Structure 1
Amino acid sequence: MQSNKLCVKLLHTLYGHTSDVNSCIFSPKLLVSCSSDKTIRAWNLDTLMENGTISPLKKHTYQVHCVSFSPIEQYNYLASVSTDGTCLIWDCKSGSVIKNIQHESQSPIRVCQFSSDGLLLATAGDDELINLWDIENDKTCSMKPLKTFTGHSATIVTLKFIFNNQYLISGSFYGDIKLWMVNTSYKAALHFEREAHDLGVTCLDTKYNFVEKIETSSVELSKHDKTTKNDGKTILDDELMNQEQQYRTDEYELIASGGNDNNVKLWQATTSSLKYMRTLSRHACAVMCVAYSPIESSHLLASGSGDKTIIIWDYISGQLLTQFEAHERYVTTCSFSFNGKLLASGSNDRLVKLWTIIMDENEKEYQNSNAAYEHTLPIDKWTNETVEQWLNKIGITQHKQLFHGKDLLNKSDRELINLLQLDQNNCQTFLNELNRLRHKYFIEQLRSTTARVNQNTLMNINAYTLPNEFLCPITHELMLEPMCASDGYSYEKHAIEQWILQKKTSPITNLPLKHQSLYPNKILKMLIEKHFMQKNISS
């Protein structure tokens, strides 16, 4: 994970999500991630532990696709969007929902983005519309969009504000990228690239840039402008031309887009056009996320892919600086911290990882004395001394009794708290770290054991052990009762029944279902059972 001037190292792994991680984003103090497990989790950057005061946020009823911070009140507000058709605005201090926004179609919403001043919010999704909301001035309970942009012909999966919030740029599964003007009554696209990625756009990121140009123009001097040299002679008539220099600033936005064609493409956007610059082609699968570093001098662009790797590029030269395997499954999201020293990534392996970005090998590596305790031994092998080291590392130095690692696995939370006699301040820290340890232990056991588990435990098996076709497209969990719907896709019985009661449309295509009848997919159920029999796991 090194190049001559760039070093990337894993700093910490964040546990907690039980399904695909779809998006992650930084504020100055928090890292927030959202998942197909219907939750949003917040992590404190100073301790690298979950913020137990608000996390997890649980109000969405289906998978959460995207999160976006508002800069108002020091990034206190967070927007999230979901397959359930809602956009929720959260207060990050209390964890409460302060606004609930829906598109008129009530279709799944895939992406949300606050303007840089926090006054506007843009949302888009399966209804192929971009809605613009006046967050600052619309105080009504049932908000109406300030403006709706039409023109895409497929699900919109990514959008960004550009040029000081005067414009929007968006991309869809159709493969097109469109440019929109915000502060006019004009609702159609100003410019579009019909086949920016011919197999579909998956992601976008933007970076403001400007170039100062010096323009030289010839100016003829009048007779009154003639000057006298030191010897008393005037400038000759054939030298009446003088050069005048003028400075002009060219403003543009750098656009990076990723697609199902496995490519990252770079564009230069002006207020009226989108100019193709170059293609970066080193990923072996679809590019699922891109992110520019906020450090101007670094020229770094990160891209994550279905090939499980992250590439960091120099976007000026197009050079690949480093490529590394970041996760055990698709890299679905990546984001730089405000100071550019950290890179967060999320994946279908249900993990969020933090990476340190070191521009010079001699630069001091980012470290945190409160980083979570890692030990080579599994928890069930921990001695009293190992448990004490772990407690000290997470900041719990005052405790009454010690025990073995097996007790951390077998005893209840309440028993452990009573044994340690923890005060209220230490309880949440202890429980957060305990849950992380238990989750890690559980995953490691699933990798190494062929022990039998019952049907309820199957629901918690990590997705990387299962073929994708065994997972319900709605819940992203193992299907125990797969049912065929009229759209030709299979879903978990209870999930599709609840969906049909509310939506009447296909969760995959968003088209109306021809009928609401459901039929058991016996072949798929047999394949699932056979899969677990081969692995000595059965229900």
Structure 2
Amino acid sequence: MKTDFQFSNLLGTVYGRGNLLFAPDGTCLLSPVGNRVSVFDLVNNKSYTLPFAHRQNISRLALNPQGNLLLTVDDSGRAILTNLPRRIALYHFSFRGAVTALEFSPSGRHFAAGIGRQIEVWHTPSTPDSQVEGGLEFAPFIRHRVYTGHYDDVQSIQWSRDSRFFLTASKDLTARVWSLNPENGFVPTTLAGHRQGVRAACFSKDQETIYTISKDGALFQWEYMAKPGTESNDVDNEEAPSDENMHWRIAQRHYYMQSNAYVTCAAYHAASNLIVAGFSNGLFTIHELPDFTEIQTLSISQQNIDHVTINKTGEWLAFGASKQGQLLVWEWQSESYILKQQGHYDGMNSITYSPDGQRIITCADDGKIKVWDVNSGFCIVTFTEHTSGVTACEFAKKGNVLFTASLDGSVRAWDLVRYRNFRTFTAPTRLGFSSLAIDPAGEVVCAGSLESDSIHIWSVQTGQLLDRLAGHEGPISSLAFAPDGGILISGSWDNTVRLWSIFARTQTSEPLQVQANVVALAVRPDNKQIAVSTLDGQLAFWSVADAEQTGIVDGRRDVSGGRKISDRRTAANVAGTKSFTTIRYSADGTCILAGGNSKYICLYECTSGMLVKKFTVSTNVALDGIQEFLNSKLLTEGGPVGQIDQEGEKSDLEDRIDRTLPGASRGDASVRRTRPEIRVPAVAFAPTGRHFCAATTEGLLIYGLDSGVTFDPFDLDETVTPKSTLHALKQSGYLRALVMSFRLNTPALIRHIFEAIPTSSISLTVRDLPIVYLSPLLRFVAIQAEQNRHLEFCLLWIKAIFEYHGRTLKDRKGEFASELRGIMKVLGSVEREVRRLSEQNEYSVKFLLGQKRRDGNGAEGSVIEKSAVGGAEIEMDDVEGSEDGGGDGEWMGVE
């Protein structure tokens, strides 16, 4: 089994906190998720997570106008500069302070960062794909200038269109206008008049007007006009007033009438004069300036809207609400959602793969069950019927039936074709079920509870309770059926594992004695071995046939990692308190994956018990249990610095109020004031064995063997030029020429190569085409079939693609969903067009069939000498067209 798994994607969490960004083309949305950044492709319906990670939660994002440089800053001011198209971290830098605002200039040469009450402007580092004086280079960060004048944190920065000036808004109730370089006659201007902190300040399109919006919902319109007392003199002199006699002054005042709510974020689109404001009650409004005409008002959340941004064309609005983990993209003109995603706002308890490996099901303490598409990364359905935390989920081996167990005392069966709950199983007494097992045949479902020592068995067909298995003397912690369905295995806190023959005439149970409380268990796919995890950190392997222990692994040192803030010892000295809470066998049964209340996931080889690989779940020190060593600098007389409540010193009342329970260790990280603890409550292997997923505090992490970019030798070949491509075509190297044209990505060259390939070589070219070029070929053929006049030629390409790569397209349909939709659209259009033309020419064909002509001997004969259906030619020398043919009078026949 291959074990070189790499981080692939992050699901389950779509927005943490911070600002959202649209790509310059408006098709992608960048969202900070904890200490990582997720990119949502809104056109191709995909999402991926950038591979780099910060040491703390990300607070600000900024993207240069070209869209190739991404600057991310975490809570401590540490920044990472990334090449976004290549997903490579270029440079690490520290601003030495928390960054509250970050913005690139429209020219892309500078960026401004609000660090507390100061603004620092830096030169944008050059990259290999940007031309700079003196050649190609990469320069570290160079500071241009520091601007001081504000008395509180800067909340917003916006540049003028010519990049000469920028506008800042601060909590000190003012906004200020600054110049990048000293300007003749320009003095930094302060715009004062608001009664609460200014959330945003922005220039109009002509830069003659400034709009400022404050927390209390006041929107001021500032205009550059003459000072009072100088207007009469200017009229007498009939000259334009000088800059000394001009100043910014409030021209109009508008107010958002939202009772018991305040403005939390705002965004302005200069091209369309639209301003969007989000409020603390989950409401947002769209107004048109300068008349302040209300266009839309919509409630999208029950909590604060943390950030709003508008794409370049002004059509899409992106909203982020951190308290419930919501991410929304709203198209205001059509009043429809482009994207509507929400993660779990409580800790996940269990995960499972669907039998085809294309979906992952997660269940959490918030009572929700979410189905995630592996290829797109989006949640496709959410079930909310459970009224309490969902503790376990499992798929039936056949069909699309999902079973879940909950603390509300019910076990539910879900139809994932119609997306409905079709069966509910309950116990005679009120119990909260914590473990679940499904018979491979799908006939019975078993559930165990930490409140009872009995196992409940129901019939899936009737929903009736069949039996209650008694034998354990402690709560049931784990259940599993053997893959052949003959045995039910149960683990309990009474230090035993029992094997039940529930389908035999006499129900018997065989106990296996272990050394400590059973936490989790798993059955090998060949039914011959059981792995048991106990509370003392041991992994025991038992033979099912002999009921004997065949091996043991001491995993206490492996699972232990990281120390809590309250610990007075290092991570190495608290190893005795950790154990594996979830274990899963690989698809071939050679390895076992284990995780627990730790930042590590361990992969063991079952035969030798050797630790094959150790995966680090997170490096985010904002979570409890990440740091390895004890830092005495963080210890004070009042206790660790991280446990001292500093929220009461904040200026805003809503930030000082603590509405959470003290000591909570689970739940939404964005709501609690205490640090969430890193934990891995569940792991699962994909049926193919090439991926596995882990439910963690930060979300659903996916590791895969196919996560890296496929190596393509043409990427590094300097001989790939238009000349060499045409030479390969001349030498009849059609596949090589086609691949080289795709690498150059020149539409004219691709079309030339495409049309030059003879029809007899299409199948051979498509058969040997590497999979990495399948997606661009599908897109190109779809465009050509729609625009090119050689319709049959394009259809031959489509036929060859589906003949030789149909299996790949079916297995990876999520990856090629956009391209397949384009092909189906074209084929449907061709079908409709052919049908329409056939109907138009119906009467023309009847007319020609009814025409008679005389041959040289005077005998009458039909114009159509032989039937076209039989494959003969149609003579139409004397017929140019037909008025009855409809349309344009063309003849659509056989030559």
Shorter-chain TM-score category? 0.5 to 0.7
In structure 2, the residue matched to 1:252 is 208
Give the AA of the match of 1:282: M
Displacement of 1:347 after TM fit?
Answer: 1.0
8 Å Cα contact 1:32-1:43 kept in structure 2: yes
8 Å Cα contact 2:14-2:327 kept in structure 1: no
- Tell me if 1:261 matches 2:216: yes
8 Å Cα contact 2:179-2:188 kept in structure 1: yes
**How far, CA to CA, are the matches of 1:305 and 1:266 in structure 2?**
20
| Matching residue within 650, 659, 662 for 1:528 | 662
In structure 2, the residue matched to 1:116 is 106
Give the AA of the match of 1:90: T
8 Å Cα contact 2:264-2:278 kept in structure 1: yes
Displacement of 1:281 after TM fit?
Answer: 1.8
| Secondary structure in structure 1 of the residue aligned to 2:142 | coil
In structure 1, the residue matched to 2:125 is 135
- Tell me if 1:322 matches 2:271: no
- Tell me if 1:519 matches 2:639: yes
- Tell me if 1:102 matches 2:57: no
8 Å Cα contact 1:204-1:289 kept in structure 2: no
**How far, CA to CA, are the matches of 2:338 and 2:269 in structure 1?**
20
In structure 1, the residue matched to 2:61 is 67
| Secondary structure in structure 2 of the residue aligned to 1:358 | coil
8 Å Cα contact 2:281-2:302 kept in structure 1: no
**How far, CA to CA, are the matches of 2:183 and 2:115 in structure 1?**
22
Residue-by-residue CA offset, 1:333-379 (whole Å, 9 max, x unaligned)? 111222222111111222210111117x8xxx7879xx99xxxxxxx
| Secondary structure in structure 2 of the residue aligned to 1:331 | coil
Q: CA 1:286–1:274 in 2, change beyond 3 Å: closer, same or farther?
A: farther
Q: CA 1:306–1:366 in 2, change beyond 3 Å: closer, same or farther?
A: closer
In structure 2, the residue matched to 1:292 is 268
| Secondary structure in structure 2 of the residue aligned to 1:202 | strand
| Matching residue within 142, 147, 151 for 2:149 | 151
Displacement of 1:178 after TM fit?
Answer: 0.8
8 Å Cα contact 1:21-1:34 kept in structure 2: yes
| Secondary structure in structure 2 of the residue aligned to 1:22 | coil
In structure 1, the residue matched to 2:181 is 183
Q: CA 1:259–1:496 in 2, change beyond 3 Å: closer, same or farther?
A: farther
Q: CA 1:480–1:441 in 2, change beyond 3 Å: closer, same or farther?
A: farther
Displacement of 1:500 after TM fit?
Answer: 8.5
8 Å Cα contact 2:150-2:170 kept in structure 1: yes
In structure 2, the residue matched to 1:312 is 286
In structure 2, the residue matched to 1:174 is 172
Output aligned runs, 1:434-473, within 5 Å: 436=379, 446=389
8 Å Cα contact 1:70-1:78 kept in structure 2: yes
| Matching residue within 198, 203, 206 for 1:201 | 198
Residue-by-residue CA offset, 1:140-160 (whole Å, 9 max, x unaligned)? 664231111111122212111
| Secondary structure in structure 2 of the residue aligned to 1:23 | coil
Q: CA 1:134–1:358 in 2, change beyond 3 Å: closer, same or farther?
A: closer
Output aligned runs, 1:352-367, within 5 Å: 352-358=327-333
8 Å Cα contact 1:128-1:156 kept in structure 2: yes
- Tell me if 1:336 matches 2:292: no
In structure 2, the residue matched to 1:382 is none
**How far, CA to CA, are the matches of 2:116 and 2:317 in structure 1?**
29
**How far, CA to CA, are the matches of 2:158 and 2:407 in structure 1?**
45
**How far, CA to CA, are the matches of 1:165 and 1:431 in structure 2?**
41
In structure 2, the residue matched to 1:41 is 38
**How far, CA to CA, are the matches of 1:268 and 1:63 in structure 2?**
39
Structure 1 gaps, min length 5: 1-13, 210-250, 373-386, 388-400, 411-427, 455-478, 484-490, 505-514, 533-538
**How far, CA to CA, are the matches of 2:171 and 2:385 in structure 1?**
37
In structure 1, the residue matched to 2:21 is 25
**How far, CA to CA, are the matches of 1:498 and 1:185 in structure 2?**
52
**How far, CA to CA, are the matches of 1:522 and 1:60 in structure 2?**
24
Q: CA 1:135–1:317 in 2, change beyond 3 Å: closer, same or farther?
A: same
Displacement of 1:128 after TM fit?
Answer: 2.5
Residue-by-residue CA offset, 1:263-293 (whole Å, 9 max, x unaligned)? 3433346897433232322234231221223
TM-score (norm 1): 0.57
Residue-by-residue CA offset, 1:208-260 (whole Å, 9 max, x unaligned)? 22xxxxxxxxxxxxxxxxxxxxxxxxxxxxxxxxxxxxxxxxx51443x3333
| Secondary structure in structure 2 of the residue aligned to 1:528 | coil
**How far, CA to CA, are the matches of 1:319 and 1:286 in structure 2?**
20
Give the length in aligned residue pairs: 375
In structure 1, the residue matched to 2:255 is 280
In structure 2, the residue matched to 1:510 is none
Output aligned runs, 1:72-87, within 5 Å: 72=66, 75-87=67-79
**How far, CA to CA, are the matches of 1:170 and 1:443 in structure 2?**
48
**How far, CA to CA, are the matches of 1:156 and 1:500 in structure 2?**
32
8 Å Cα contact 1:40-1:56 kept in structure 2: yes
Q: CA 1:176–1:335 in 2, change beyond 3 Å: closer, same or farther?
A: same
Displacement of 1:199 after TM fit?
Answer: 2.6
Give the AA of the match of 2:213: G
**How far, CA to CA, are the matches of 1:205 and 1:526 in structure 2?**
36
8 Å Cα contact 1:500-1:516 kept in structure 2: no
**How far, CA to CA, are the matches of 1:522 and 1:177 in structure 2?**
33
**How far, CA to CA, are the matches of 2:644 and 2:97 in structure 1?**
30
Displacement of 1:495 after TM fit?
Answer: 8.8
**How far, CA to CA, are the matches of 2:282 and 2:253 in structure 1?**
23
TM-score (norm 2): 0.36
Give the AA of the match of 1:293: H
**How far, CA to CA, are the matches of 1:437 and 1:82 in structure 2?**
31
**How far, CA to CA, are the matches of 1:39 and 1:441 in structure 2?**
28
8 Å Cα contact 2:158-2:168 kept in structure 1: yes
| Secondary structure in structure 2 of the residue aligned to 1:146 | strand
Residue-by-residue CA offset, 1:84-117 (whole Å, 9 max, x unaligned)? 21233221112222233433xx011121111112
Output aligned runs, 1:384-533, within 5 Å: 408=361, 430-433=374-377, 436=379, 446=389, 516-519=636-639, 527-528=661-662
**How far, CA to CA, are the matches of 1:173 and 1:293 in structure 2?**
23
Residue-by-residue CA offset, 1:302-358 (whole Å, 9 max, x unaligned)? 111112111111222113222111223111111122222211111122221011111
**How far, CA to CA, are the matches of 1:253 and 1:93 in structure 2?**
36
**How far, CA to CA, are the matches of 1:178 and 1:499 in structure 2?**
44
Residue-by-residue CA offset, 1:122-166 (whole Å, 9 max, x unaligned)? 111225233333434696664231111111122212111114111
Displacement of 1:62 after TM fit?
Answer: 2.1
Displacement of 1:481 after TM fit?
Answer: 6.1
Give the AA of the match of 2:198: V
Displacement of 1:402 after TM fit?
Answer: 5.2
Q: CA 1:192–1:34 in 2, change beyond 3 Å: closer, same or farther?
A: same
**How far, CA to CA, are the matches of 2:216 and 2:99 in structure 1?**
24
Q: CA 1:180–1:295 in 2, change beyond 3 Å: closer, same or farther?
A: closer
**How far, CA to CA, are the matches of 1:446 and 1:124 in structure 2?**
42
